[in-house]
């Protein structure tokens, strides 16, 4: 909660500073006179929808994960594997200083796992049936440590906040660009013309792509942190062995939406596609672990 409050206050300060800068430089008056744009009002509107949408997504992330992935929560272990999963997650959660997450299994032939949840003490860790079938206990332990580290590091909240801030600026700037084209270039003086709608939609798409690239870059950075955490909780060699096992597997089925950023494997991608990868290449992650002291 402290992380959320500090980040929200920081970003409110950024919005206030931007609005004040425009006012002191006279740019807000220039925009108002030439286009009728009330930039401060647009920023407030964009913040409500940009940040609000991101936090709503986080708030329902566990429900969405359970529904979309068909995750079966382990309430009472039905076999030795489920019992071992609960014990291992409980032990790692205690070492990481977080509350016991819900633990679940979802049907998928691909080796994968993910963590999600609104806060560190009310999270979900889920593993695929393919992961349990294709990895030994040491490797699964490392994967669980990786996911527990995502939770302990507050990655779900941090990624949501970054996405919310970027959403705010994408919404605000796309509408400013649309109004500038509509009223300055096309000389429309009544309401919102076709130039505004077409330009703002195109601008939002382009800015949205750039925002996604920023979010994915940060996601890749957080994966190295989660690997380090997995190495501390389970052992470096176990973490390396788990990543090497993933190298031997075929390209996994993509996890839906924001869950991809918190899976153990983000799939493949080269060239321009690499900018949209949620995870670094496995060989880079293994190399980084081997350099750990």
Per-residue pLDDT 10s for the chain (293 aa) are 555 565 566 666 666 766 676 666 666 666 666 556 666 677 777 777 777 777 788 788 888 888 988 999 999 999 999 999 999 999 999 999 999 999 999 999 999 999 998 888 989 999 999 999 999 999 999 999 999 999 999 888 888 888 888 888 888 888 888 888 887 788 877 767 888 899 999 999 999 999 999 999 999 999 999 999 999 999 999 999 999 999 887 555 555 555 555 455 555 556 667 788 888 999 999 999 999 87
Range of the domain at 58: 1-293
Judged by DSSP in three states, 278 sits in coil
Alpha carbons 268 and 287: distance in angstroms, whole number: 18
Question: β-strands 102-106, 113-117: how paired?
Answer: unpaired
- Point out the residues that are catalytic: 147
Q: What pLDDT, on a 0 to 100 scale, did the predictor assign at position 129?
A: 95
Q: What pLDDT, on a 0 to 100 scale, did the predictor assign at position 45?
A: 74
**Whole-model pTM?**
0.79
Judged by DSSP in three states, 81 sits in helix
Q: What pLDDT, on a 0 to 100 scale, did the predictor assign at position 73?
A: 95
Question: β-strands 102-106, 123-128: how paired?
Answer: parallel
Q: What pLDDT, on a 0 to 100 scale, did the predictor assign at position 50?
A: 74
Contacts of 226 by beta carbon, 8 Å cutoff, 6+ apart: 146, 147, 149, 150, 153, 155
Q: What pLDDT, on a 0 to 100 scale, did the predictor assign at position 32?
A: 65
Alpha carbons 212 and 273: distance in angstroms, whole number: 12
Q: What pLDDT, on a 0 to 100 scale, did the predictor assign at position 77?
A: 93
Alpha carbons 128 and 111: distance in angstroms, whole number: 6
Number of domains in the chain: 1
């Amino acid at each position: 909660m402290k992380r959320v409050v500090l980040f929200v206050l920081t970003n409110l300060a950024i919005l206030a500073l931007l609005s004040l800068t425009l006012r002191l430089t006279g740019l807000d008056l220039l925009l108002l006179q030439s286009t009728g744009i009330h930039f401060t009002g647009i920023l407030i509107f964009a913040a409500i929808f940009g940040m609000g949408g991101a936090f709503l997504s986080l708030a329902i992330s566990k429900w969405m994960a359970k529904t979309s992935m068909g995750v079966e929560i382990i309430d009472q272990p039905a076999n030795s594997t489920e019992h071992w999963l609960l014990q291992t997650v409980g032990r790692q959660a205690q070492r990481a200083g977080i509350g016991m997450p819900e633990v679940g299994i979802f049907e998928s032939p691909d080796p994968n796992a993910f963590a999600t949840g609104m806060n560190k003490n009310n999270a979900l860790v889920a593993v695929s049936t393919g992961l349990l079938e294709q990895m030994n206990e040491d490797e699964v332990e490392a994967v669980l440590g990786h996911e527990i580290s995502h939770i302990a590091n507050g990655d779900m909240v941090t990624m949501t906040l970054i996405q919310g801030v970027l959403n705010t600026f994408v919404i605000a700037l796309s509408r400013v660009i649309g109004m500038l084209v509509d009223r300055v270039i096309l000389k429309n003086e009544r309401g919102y013309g076709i130039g505004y709608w077409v330009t703002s939609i195109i601008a939002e798409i382009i800015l949205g792509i750039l925002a996604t690239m920023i979010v994915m870059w940060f996601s890749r950075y957080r994966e190295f942190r989660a690997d380090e955490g997995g190495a501390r909780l389970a052992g470096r060699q176990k973490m390396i062995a788990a990543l090497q096992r993933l190298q031997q597997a075929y390209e996994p089925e993509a996890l839906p939406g924001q869950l991809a950023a918190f899976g153990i494997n983000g799939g493949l991608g080269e060239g321009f596609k690499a900018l949209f990868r949620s995870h670094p290449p496995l060989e880079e992650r293994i190399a980084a672990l081997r350099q750990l002291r």
